[in-house]
Structure 1
Amino acid sequence: MKKLLILILCALVGTKVSAQKEVSAKAIFEAIDKGQSAERRPINYQDVTIVGDLDLTELSNKKRIKRIKSDYEEYKSTVEVPVTFKNCVFQGDFIAYKNIEDKKNKKAGNANINWSFGDGTTFTTDFEKSVVFENCTFKGKSEFKYSDFAEKASFAGTKFAQSANFKYADFNQEIIFAKCDFNEYANFKYSKFKQDADFYDARFNNYADFKYSNFNDRVTFKGSTFKNQADFKYADFKEDTNFDNTKFSSGVDFKYSNGKKYMNK
Structure 2
Amino acid sequence: MKLLNSLMLAALSTTAIYAQKQVSARDIFQAIDKNQSVQYDGVVVTGDLDFTELSNRKVKHEKGGWEEIKTTVEVPVVFRNCTFKGDVIAYKNLQENGSKTKVFNIEINNGGVTYSADFRENAIFENCTFENGSEFKYSTFSKVANFAGSKFAEQANFKYAKFRQDAFLANIRFDDYANFKYADFAHKADFKDVRFHDSADFKYAEFDERVDFTGSRFQRHADFKYADFHDGASFDKTDFDDGVDFKYSNGKRYVSSR
The TM-score with structure 2 as length reference comes to: 0.87
State the 1:64 CA deviation: 1.0
For residues 256 and 130 of structure 2, the distance between their equivalents in structure 1, rounded to whole angstroms, comes to 32
The aligned amino acid for 1:262 is: Y
Q: Secondary structure at the match of 2:248?
A: coil
1:12-66 alpha-carbon deviations (Å, 9 max, x no partner): 7xx79x94710111011001111x1xxxx42101110000111110101011113
Residue matched to 1:90: 84
Residue matched to 1:258: 250
Which of 51, 60, 64 lines up with 2:59 in the alignment? 64
State the 1:101 CA deviation: 1.6
Which of 195, 200, 213 lines up with 2:205 in the alignment? 213
Residue matched to 1:131: 123
State the 1:213 CA deviation: 0.4
Stretches of 4+ moved more than 2 A in 1? none
The aligned amino acid for 2:133 is: K
Number of equivalenced pairs: 238
For residues 112 and 37 of structure 2, the distance between their equivalents in structure 1, rounded to whole angstroms, comes to 34
Report the CA distance shift for 1:211/1:28 in structure 2 as closer, same or farther (over 3 A).
Answer: same
Which of 94, 102, 106 lines up with 1:100 in the alignment? 94
- Listed as ranges, the matches of 1:35-184 within 5 Å are 36=35, 41-67=36-62, 69-103=63-97, 118-184=110-176
For residues 26 and 77 of structure 2, the distance between their equivalents in structure 1, rounded to whole angstroms, comes to 15
The aligned amino acid for 1:230 is: A
When the two chains are superposed, the root-mean-square deviation of aligned CA atoms in Å is: 2.2
Residue matched to 1:21: 21
State the 1:262 CA deviation: 0.5
Residue matched to 1:246: 238
Q: Secondary structure at the match of 1:102?
A: coil
Does structure 1 retain, via aligned residues, the 8 Å contact 2:58–2:71?
yes
Does structure 2 retain, via aligned residues, the 8 Å contact 1:102–1:118?
no
Identical residues among aligned pairs (%): 54
Q: Secondary structure at the match of 1:45?
A: strand
Does structure 2 retain, via aligned residues, the 8 Å contact 1:188–1:213?
yes
For residues 135 and 146 of structure 2, the distance between their equivalents in structure 1, rounded to whole angstroms, comes to 16
Where does the alignment leave 5 or more consecutive residues of structure 2 unmatched?
99-107
The aligned amino acid for 1:30 is: Q
Report the CA distance shift for 1:232/1:118 in structure 2 as closer, same or farther (over 3 A).
Answer: closer
For residues 214 and 71 of structure 1, the distance between their equivalents in structure 2, rounded to whole angstroms, comes to 30
State the 1:231 CA deviation: 0.4
1:93-127 alpha-carbon deviations (Å, 9 max, x no partner): 000000012249xxxxxxxxxxx995110000000
Q: Secondary structure at the match of 2:39?
A: strand
Does structure 1 retain, via aligned residues, the 8 Å contact 2:149–2:171?
yes
Does structure 1 retain, via aligned residues, the 8 Å contact 2:221–2:244?
yes
Report the CA distance shift for 1:77/1:204 in structure 2 as closer, same or farther (over 3 A).
Answer: same
